[in-house]
Chain A
Amino acid sequence: MDATATAARPKPTASATLPAGDPKIVAKDVNVYYAEKHALKNVSLDIPERAVMAFIGPSGCGKSTFLRCINRMNDTIASCRVVGSIKIDDQDIYDPSLDVVQLRARVGMVFQKPNPFPKSIYENIAYGPRIHGLARSKAELDEIVEQALRKASLWNEVKDRLQDTGTGLSGGQQQRLCIARAIAVSPEVILMDEPCSALDPIATAKIEELIDELRQNFTIVIVTHSMQQAARVSQRTAFFHLGVIVETGPTERIFTSPNDKRTQDYITGRFG
């Protein structure tokens, strides 16, 4: 494909082919700087509600940076500056009057390495609901813990040892514990940053199965380096490269006939 052909074709936007309903998250002209480094350049993207959106791209392309913008995790990095607008349900999350703690309750996050608190399984889940005042009694809290563990497909494995320490679980169980912990505060969006990269194929399959179930109730954004995983779990995919979104569209199309040569080169293993 020559350069003129690329330039002539209108850039596919997520909103053009979104399923019915408004997008949950709308990002417009987002730029992120780490000190002098311009990490994310004019990223605009619609993320649909109750669906899984996958971010793919080579290391350092900005996908994790963008993910971390969605719950303002980048605020914790002193040199980081975010310009542009990100709205969740039409509300600007960079509005100075917005309570960041509340935002992070609405937008949960699961990380690459499972990071349970060094506390009991029960406490790992109960901590969030307790500090956010979601339970009025011990019985209510017990119920929240059980429901969160059930939704994360972990209940049957841990129900008889809720007081054991969370760090004693296997890697895959720990990751599902972290997902249960994220779910427990009833978020609307769950961000996942390579949630399976430290897991074996069986634990990975369980998480993928879980993601598929969770998308009935949550909007999920997942960063993954596994092309196959993106193809399996997501409905829409965005390909990041050098700080820009090169292409976004329905996952099926991205993985069968992408429009942009850079996308094609990356997903087929021709980059470099």
Chain B
Amino acid sequence: MAMTDHIVSSFDADLQTLGDKLAEMGGLCEKLVGESIEALLRRDIPLAKRVIEWDRSIDRLQHEIEENGILTIAKRAPVAIDLREVVAALRIANDLERIGDLAKNIAKRVVALEGQFQPPKLAGGVAHIADLTLAQLKEVLDAYTQRDERRAMEVWKRDGDIDALYNSLFRELLTYMMEDPRNIGFCAHLLFCAKNIERIGDHATNVAETVYYLVHGEAVTDERPKGDLAGAAISYD
């Protein structure tokens, strides 16, 4: 349904503020995830430290969105699409905050890895899964901005690819660790980074489900396609 303006224009302003803050937060998340991966691949410690610093801005934005959302509920008692707008903003802000934390965790591992032995070919797999996840995150945020639940559901369906990639990466890293014990420290960190990236993908699918709810007023009922659950690569959702 195309929306006309509210009779009370400050209600529109409230919702607009929520949307603006969420857009800012989404942009910041994309940047942080991208830079945390870049820091990992290039072993760029100053960049990693900047990511850790930036995560505070994401937390601050989440806090502001929560406050604005609660205030809007208290003042305007929103119903129907307005209520879904506010609830969606709160939920997406939550997911984005978690994404920020996961990016920060990757950055912290980059700092922890300083001076460790690094076999050069290992990071390739991580770069691939990271590219895919970043594309998913960007796509789902665009889908939210445009209220395009079809695009959101495409993201939702593609999450299985990330899971599958994570599982194959898991097996690959195990092989390297078995080959040479000197790889274990680095590989273990890399494995956690890959898991973080996979979790970012899961949060992107949460956002996709929220976009669906926002547009349709009901929850997604289908089961999300999952990658194979080989070995210990258990997903936590």
Q: Is the CB of A272 within 8 A of B7?
A: yes
Residue of A1, A255, A271 near B79 (CB, 8 A) is: A255
Q: Is the CB of A257 within 8 A of B216?
A: yes
Residue of B3, B7, B80 near A271 (CB, 8 A) is: B7
Residue of B1, B8, B217 near A269 (CB, 8 A) is: B8
Closest to A2 in B: B2
Residue of B1, B3, B5, B84 near A256 (CB, 8 A) is: B84
* A231 contacts partner chain B, Cβ-Cβ < 8 Å: yes
Chain B residues in 8 Å Cβ range of A256: 79-80, 83-84, 217
- Chain B 159-218 interface residues, beta-carbon cutoff 8 Å to A: 216-218
13 contacts between A and B (CB under 8 A): A1-B1, A1-B2, A231-B79, A255-B80, A256-B217, A257-B217, A257-B218, A258-B80, A261-B1, A264-B1, A264-B80, A264-B81, A265-B4
Chain B residues in 8 Å Cβ range of A271: 7
Report Cα–Cα, A269/B82, bound state, in Å.
10
Chain A nearest CB from B55 CB (Å) reads 34
Interface 0/1 of B71-91, CB less than 8 Å to A:
000000111111110000000
Query: Given A256-B79, A261-B1, A270-B7, 15 more contacts at CB 8 Å?
Result: A228-B77, A231-B79, A255-B80, A256-B80, A257-B84, A263-B80, A264-B1, A268-B6, A268-B78, A268-B79, A268-B80, A269-B6, A269-B8, A270-B5, A272-B7
Chain A residues in 8 Å Cβ range of B5: 270
Interface 0/1 of A230-272, CB less than 8 Å to B:
0100000000000000000000000111100101110111111
* A158 contacts partner chain B, Cβ-Cβ < 8 Å: no
Known: A1-B1, A1-B2, A264-B1. A257 touches B80 (CB 8 A): yes
Known: A1-B1, A256-B84. A270 touches B6 (CB 8 A): yes
Chain A nearest CB from B16 CB (Å) reads 15
- Chain A 73-121 interface residues, beta-carbon cutoff 8 Å to B: none
Known: A257-B217, A257-B218. A268 touches B81 (CB 8 A): yes
Closest to A231 in B: B79
B residues neighboring A (CB under 8 Å)? 1-8, 11, 77-84, 216-218
Report Cα–Cα, A270/B1, bound state, in Å.
13
Report Cα–Cα, A60/B77, bound state, in Å.
24
Closest to A257 in B: B217
Chain B residues in 8 Å Cβ range of A255: 79-80, 83
**CB < 8 Å A-B pair total:** 46
* A227 contacts partner chain B, Cβ-Cβ < 8 Å: yes
Q: Is the CB of B79 within 8 A of A227?
A: yes
Q: Is the CB of B82 within 8 A of A268?
A: yes
Report Cα–Cα, A231/B6, bound state, in Å.
20
The residue among B8, B83, B84, B216 with the most chain A CB atoms within 10 A of its own CB is: B83
Chain A residues in 8 Å Cβ range of B79: 227, 231, 255-256, 267-268
Closest to B215 in A: A257
Report Cα–Cα, A264/B2, bound state, in Å.
11
Chain A residues in 8 Å Cβ range of B82: 268
Report Cα–Cα, A219/B8, bound state, in Å.
35
Closest to B76 in A: A269
Report Cα–Cα, A173/B125, bound state, in Å.
74
